[in-house]
Amino acid sequence: MDVGKAAGRNIILIGFSATGKTRVGSEVARRLGWRLADTDNHIVELAGKPIDRIFAEDGEPRFREYEKAALKEACNHARTVIACGGGVVVDPANRELMSNSGIVILLKARPETIYNRLTSNTGDEVRPLLAGDDPMQNIRSLKKKRQALYDEVSDWMVCTDNLTIEEVCDEVIRGWHYGIRCKDNIFSANIDANGLSAMVVTSGGAYPVSVGYGVLDSLGTKLKDAGLSGSVSIISDDNVYKIYGKRVEKIIKDAGYEVGSYIVPAGEQSKSLDAVVKIYDWMVERRVERGSAVVALGGGVIGDLAGFVAATYLRGLPLVHVPTSLLAMVDASIGGKVAVDHAQGKNLIGSFYQPRLVLSDVETLKSLPKRELISGWAELIKHALILDADLFEFLDSQSQKLVKLDRGAIVEAVARSAVIKAGVVSLDEKEMGLRTILNYGHTITHGLETASGYDTFLHGEAVSIGMMGAAVISQRLGLIAGEVVKKQKAVLQKYGLPIDCRDIDSADVLKATALDKKVKGKKVRWVLLKEIGKTVIRDDVPDDLVLDVIKDLVNS
């Protein structure tokens, strides 16, 4: 991916004086692990003197030349938060450069707020806006003059009057995700040699999602960066713990934490209330206190189980995901869905509970059983189908490299897919709107899993079959051409994913779809394709059409 052409490669903060651009920029850069570029500071470096002296000795035209040079230098980089001076928008060339270099976010404040901030933080610098007999009028006049230019170039706006710095930063990062969506129609990943670090920002909290190769050893540092203290409870399964358990324990212990591990049998059967109660008993015995972190080390089952425990024990413990499966890295670990299964349906008992951080080391995928790895590709392909046609083409053209876990290709694929999930969750935490599209194929998927007693398919295998069903339904409703169905089928097969199955009762599958979480007003809400990269939600799909499609899928 050409980072230099990604619309979301930088965050550019604009706004009037005293709206908080530098302080907010510094904190946002810290959260994202990006660099900070303050154009005013660079202007001082270029001129060799303070800004008030530049204006007094050289005049405003010379200052604007310095400003243009400073902005150009900042925009030459990627993964940079750029805090701009208040008048940077005056030059049309600056506005064009900013628009082409990242997501432009406007910080606003009322004139009264600006005046109060300027008068309480004057320091040694002379503030031209405070000069004269009526500084409030100076502020109102200049702000009104520039407002149309601010509005013209900005992709997102944050009113800072009554928000803390932390709250403004949350809104800036949310705006970054939204701006990427609007500019590119995808959630672009900002990838470099070290991988990716994105942010999920929700009402349940903001947290980083880090993807890289060989980054597991940074877990201790990540825990400290997240402000976590006290003991750490690792929850894992017997397969994953055998490979990574002792190593992760040592990493966390070396960072100064007391560590304990609880191991469950691998498999969906461990996602039960019985297993939860046993973990509660273990935690009570260890005297786990509020504030002590739970680390979910493993795939999607462990993420769901450990997440449910973290959400409910002592009314909530900090949760950290360290996914070791492809499926968990791009889907289950991001977004805060935690649950256990009920005999009548998968994930029927659960909640939304956001983690404090997600750390995905794609090197761990080398230890996955072949079938587990194949299963994981379904979610990457799903993300591409619903939101990113370019990613779909990447998965298609780079399939030979990806199935062999080529280092560069796999980091890019996982990172781009993870950013799509992070962006969707940031815009719709509780699945009230946009997030619903992540369920493409999942209505039939959960029907298959329930009808088979959860022991026939890996989740990604069922997702693959479910997506084929959803694509065929889309075609029969006239939403897409048969060629789109063929393209989806061909890519799934390149990754070794199933497109149908045998020996499942189609009537049982149809019955199970009625219990699916996406049912609203007793109508199943189907996520269907309009084209590759775009979806539509329909609740008017006839049962007889669904049954026909399911019969074809299960060959019954």
Q: Which positions are catalytic?
A: 315, 337, 379, 421, 431, 435, 439, 442, 446, 459
Helices (H), 501-554: 506-513, 543-554
DSSP element (H, E) containing 146: helix 135-153
Is residue 310 within 8 A of residue 317, CB to CB? The reply is yes
User: Smallest Cα–Cα separation from 98: which of 72, 65, 135?
Assistant: 72
CA 77 – CA 40 distance, rounded (Å): 17
DSSP letter (8 states) at residue 195: B
- Angle of helix 543-554 versus helix 442-451 axis, rounded to 10: 60
Q: Kindly tell me the burial class for residue 286, based on how many C-beta atoms sit within 10 Å of its own C-beta (0-12, 13-18, 19 or more).
A: middle
Which H helix or E strand runs over 524?
A: strand 523-524
What single-letter amino acid sits at 250? K
Beta bridge partners of 232: 259, 293
DSSP structural state of residue 344: T
CA distances (Å), 354 to each of 35, 478, 518, 553, in order? 26, 38, 20, 35
The count of other CB atoms within 10 Å of the CB of residue 520 is: 11
DSSP label of 516: S
Determine the distance from the C-alpha atom of residue 59 to the mean position of all C-alpha atoms in its chain, rounded to a whole number.
45
* Burial annotation 452-489 (CB, 10 A radius, 16+ → b, else e): bebeebbbbbbbbbbbbbbbbbbbbbebbeeebbebbb
Q: Which of 550, 349, 353, 555 is nearest to 466 (CA)?
A: 550
- Report the DSSP pairing between strands 319-323 and 357-361: parallel
Closest CA to 33 of 3, 57, 11: 11
Secondary structure in 3-state letters for 68-125: HHHHHHHHCCCCEEEECCCCHHHCHHHHHHHHHHCEEEEEECCHHHHHHHHHHCCCCC
Helices (H), 202-356: 219-225, 238-240, 246-254, 273-286, 300-312, 326-327
Listed in sequence order, the DSSP H helices in 479-531 are: 482-494, 506-513
Cα–Cα distance for residue pair 551/556, rounded to 1 Å:
6
Question: Which of 355-380 are b and which e, b meaning 16 or more Cβ less than 10 Å from the residue's Cβ?
Answer: bbbbbbbbbbbeebeeebbbbbbbbb
Q: Which amino acid is at 437?
A: I
d(Cα 304, Cα 214) in Å, to the nearest integer?
A: 24
